[in-house]
Structure 1
Amino acid sequence: MRALFALWLLCVGGGLASPVWAQDSVASRTPDVRMIFDVSGSMKANDPGNLRASALQLAATLLPSRARGSVWTFGSQVRNPLPDGNVDAQWRRRARSLAPQLVDYQQFTDIEQALREASQADGGQRHIILLTDGMVDLPGSGEAKRMRDQASREALIASLAPALASRGVVVHTIALSQNVDRELLERISRITGGLAAVAETPEALLRAFLDVLERIVPRDQLPIEKGGFDVDDEVEGFNALLFHDEDAPEISLVGPDGKRYTRDDHPDDMLWQSNPRYDVIRVPEPQVGKWRIEGPIGRDSRVSIESALQLRSDTLPPTLYLGFDIPLDAWLSREGEMLTGAALPDGIQVRGELRGLEGDTRASTSLAAGDDGHFTGTLQAPERIGNARIVLNADSDAWTRERVQGVNIVPPVTTTLNDDASQVTLKAQHPRLNVGNTQISASLLGETLDVASDGERTWQIALPKVDPDQSVPLNLDMTVTLDGHTWSFALPTLRLNPEARIGVSGADVNVNDGSMRAKALPDDDAGFEKKRDARQEQDLLAKAGALWDQASDDWQALRSNVGPYARHPTTWAVFAALLLALTILWGWRRHVRRRRRHRRRREPHV
């Protein structure tokens, strides 16, 4: 195998060779990757450094030679500057030359037409990567334009995305900017089985692109720890992708024997490509031992390997849901054969983690070994929406293997506020939820609202009138029963009138924050009581905050016109109500503390 790896390096000419990726069930299919880049005028502001060109170069570097690829651009028109072809040295050179065409800006954003044209040609396992910074924006004006935009958006969700899914076309979306129609992109990806990634800054674009590429072509990695990584004797070659700042010092790679390698000083069989924001280094038949990286590198840097010993897993769905646990299943194989029983190394440990994009561990678990060679476990339900990564790690005394998969965590139901803010519509996103197994409760400033079912997977909440100058939170809770198990959790808060001049103090978590307030069993365990107490306290604080805001306005008027204003009965009513609310809150908190001290402990149960 080492000889074959070296022969592959020698046979590829005309630039940096492509990697030999791990041969699992997804990567073994010949991928057909079609990259669609938004070139609408708003990209001037959202990607001023044209990092789309760096992302395209990254894809040209990382796509394997067995793949097919094409490049598309769109605004008001759809163009295909790099037609479909085998990913070889010539294709890579042409892809790297397309940077000027990514700044050939157009006026509008026709997402529907771009997807239709790029998906028309037949292919193998087709993956579309759609990068855009906006929303459906078609030529026209006034009400006619608004209706045309809305019709195109609805066609994308209701007809085009399901049609693509039926043809085996997977659409991965990358949202660049805060103004993007994120719901649209997430729904397209979810329907077609792709990953929806968000790059809130141009610098995060490469990370999002890499997460999508790893979904298309997964591979084993060696973890980078304390500025280095350990190469074992079963590694036949490694590919180091090292991210760095544009003005960072030159990066060096130091082998176990102490020999230092740089971009300008390395052996002929070591391939080194330098980009302003990353370096890619390919090393065949590396020395066994500790390799060190000298120079500042980004946390998204990674070392992928070619090895007969591989960590495998079931393909995780790219979309996960708040409040739902994550089952994991992994195994080890050598030359494609699963290792079981005595073939497994002594002391092997397999772990799974859910990590944020900044590297923080949100949940972790050990996977238990079964007699059939599978390692299984369950990660605790995610509590924040947004992009994250599932990391599987297999560790023994002799070697380590790691797998990383990008995921997008979304609420199990969507919430939509109608135009006149009189009604909220909730629709189930999780494929197994319906009005029969899911109960939703809602409260607004301490008042419980009726939640009515409207079809098999939809609920409606009629809202009372809210002062348009006041921003208030709508609190939503779910209770779900599936497979004989019942649990409750809170959904992200929906804020009404988010831009209002008066905000209710201490009342909510913004829906964009992506965090859940609590998760608990529905029975009378301590966790659920604490959550209930917190909600009640939150509602009292919300009411007190609203009264305080009103009292503050009244006090300012009182100071400017003491005589007439002081005689106004509403002023003193507000101050009296505020005093009453604070008194009730103080008494209630004393009651809660006293109740918790004397509460007998119960064992939680389902």
Structure 2
Amino acid sequence: MSMQRTILFLRQWLSACAALALLLSPASFPLAKPMAPQKADVRIVIDISGSMKKNDPQNLRRPALRLLVGLMPAGSRAGVWTFGRYVNMQVPLGQVTESWKKNARDKAGEIHSRGLFTNIEEALQRATRDWEPGDNRYRRDVVLLTDGMVDVSKDPAESAASRQRILSKVLPRLKKLGARVHTIALSGRADHELMKQLAGETDGWYEQVDDAERLQRVFLRIFEKVGKPDTLPLEDNRFKVDKSIKEVTLLIFRGRDNTEPTRIITPGGRKFSAKNPPPSVNWHQDEGYDLLTITRPEAGEWHIQAQVDPDNRVMVVTDLKMHTTDLPNRIALGE
């Protein structure tokens, strides 16, 4: 090999080594992010002002709240606050257990539309008062349902000042705490700009609901954000269970005109409904939906005898847990 070729070979070899060293350097690998907390801490804040008589005349906030608390996974934390002029702790903050869910369902029946004013500032402050920086045991989420503007006084200047404090004090604090705020505007006359900003700056979810009958499905969407459930595919109201699954929760929506009871058929061919569930089934029936939990379900294909609905869900507790990266709630075109 000539001297010129030898020099060329050495240069190429050194370049390759340098490139390999750069590729393998620590700077080439993103630092692993610490695993996000797996349990949720959810603060549910519901407007009970007088305008709800018009925007929710059938008080559909009640079954929607019962759906949301019924879906909350065991081991998470949750509480419910209602507000008009004053803020009330409707359901005390606590660990989600069967007794907590029962109490929350009972308390949901007390939701009304007799409140004066719409004190969103105080509601957000009271519901999150105990949150402190640096506590990473739970994912923090606020669910805010309102149909109006910030209204704390007959003096418009006081209401404007309260709204400004939400943006200048309450929102920065929630961002610092890593909390997400999910906002539901149950009226075209709500303060949509404020609701969008609260959700947008905390990576939360915002939705305008013009018909209270949609509340249950909106609460389902928000639960999927805060609860992060594992689910099974549901095709033609059929789903398959394997031996790794410890518990199955079924959410089955019923149409307004559907009078037929929901029935479940096990892989072994046994059929049951809300009237005759086996001991392993906890069945809650409410306005517009069935929510049932099956402990130690039989492996094989299950069949739901009910109207097929795209919002029906099969959620599971399993020994196999998949960890995924959250997608942002707002994705720009091309991202």
TM-score range, shorter chain: 0.7 to 0.9
Aligned residue pair count: 296
Conserved? CA contact 1:26–1:216, under 8 Å: no
Structure having the larger proportion of residues in strand: 1
Equivalent position of 2:241 in the other structure? 231
**Residue matched to 2:15:** none
Q: Deviations over 1:176-202 (max 9, x none)?
A: 122222221111112223222332311
Residue 25 of structure 1, CA deviation: 4.8
Structure-2 change in CA distance of 1:45 and 1:89 (3 Å): same
Q: What corresponds to 2:330 in structure 1?
A: 319
1:185 aligns with 195
Contact 1:68 1:87 in 2 (8 A): yes
Q: Is the 8 A contact 1:136 1:152 kept in 2?
A: yes
1:362-420 superposed Cα distances (whole Å, 9 cap, x missing partner): xxxxxxxxxxxxxxxxxxxxxxxxxxxxxxxxxxxxxxxxxxxxxxxxxxxxxxxxxxx
Residue in 2 aligned with 1:218? 228
Partner of 2:276: helix, strand, or coil?
A: coil
d(CA) in 2 for partners of 1:111 and 1:74? 8
Whole-Å Cα distance in 1 between the matches of residues 242 and 102 of structure 2?
A: 34
Cα deviation for residue 311 of structure 1 reads 3.9
Question: Residues 179 and 324 (structure 1 numbering): CA distance in 2 closer, same or farther, change over 3 Å?
Answer: farther
- The structure number with the bigger radius of gyration is 1
C-alpha displacement of 1:261? 1.6
Q: For residue 120 of structure 1, what is the amino acid of its counterpart?
A: R
Match of 2:314 among 303, 310, 315: 303
CA offset at residue 135 of structure 1?
1.5
Q: Is the 8 A contact 2:185 2:195 kept in 1?
A: yes
Aligned counterparts of 1:295 and 1:84: Cα–Cα separation in 2: 35
2:298 maps to 1:284? no
The reply on whether 1:266 has 2:280 as its aligned counterpart is no
* Alignment equivalent of 1:194, drawn from 179, 200, 204: 204
Is 1:169 aligned to 2:183, yes or no?
A: no
1:140 counterpart = 2:124: no
| Residue 129 in structure 1 maps to residue 140 in structure 2 | no
What pairs with 1:38-53 in structure 2 (closer than 5 Å)?
A: 38-53=47-62
Unaligned runs of 5+ in 1: 1-23, 326-606
Q: How far apart, CA to CA, are the structure 2 residues paired with 1:78 and 1:39?
A: 10
1:102 paired with 2:95, answer no
Where in structure 2 are there 5+ consecutive unaligned residues?
1-33, 133-137
Deviations 1:250-304 (A, max 9, x none): 0111122322121112211122211121111222332333222112243211001
Q: How does 1:9-408 map to 2 (within 5 A)?
A: 25-26=35-36, 28-29=38-39, 31-122=40-131, 124-141=138-155, 145=156, 147-248=157-258, 249-321=260-332, 323-325=333-335
SS, match of residue 97 in structure 1: helix
The residue type paired with residue 265 of structure 2 is: V
Residue identity over aligned pairs, in percent, reads 34
Please say if residues 245 and 318 of structure 2, whose CA atoms lie closer than 8 Å, have aligned partners that are also in contact.
yes
Q: Please tell me the residue identity of whatever aligns with 1:279.
A: D
Corresponding residue of 2:13: none
The C-alpha deviation readout for 1:3-51, integer Å capped at 9, x for no partner, is: xxxxxxxxxxxxxxxxxxxxx955623x222111101111111111212
- Give the distance between the partners of 2:167 and 2:315, measured in 1 at CA: 36
Q: Which runs of 4+ in 1 moved over 6 A?
A: none
TM-score (norm 2): 0.81
The secondary structure found in structure 2 opposite 1:193 is: coil
Partner-residue secondary structure (3-state), 1:266: coil
Relative contact order: is structure 1 or structure 2 higher (C-alpha 8 Å, sep ≥ 6)? 2
Where 1:282 maps in the other structure, the secondary structure is strand
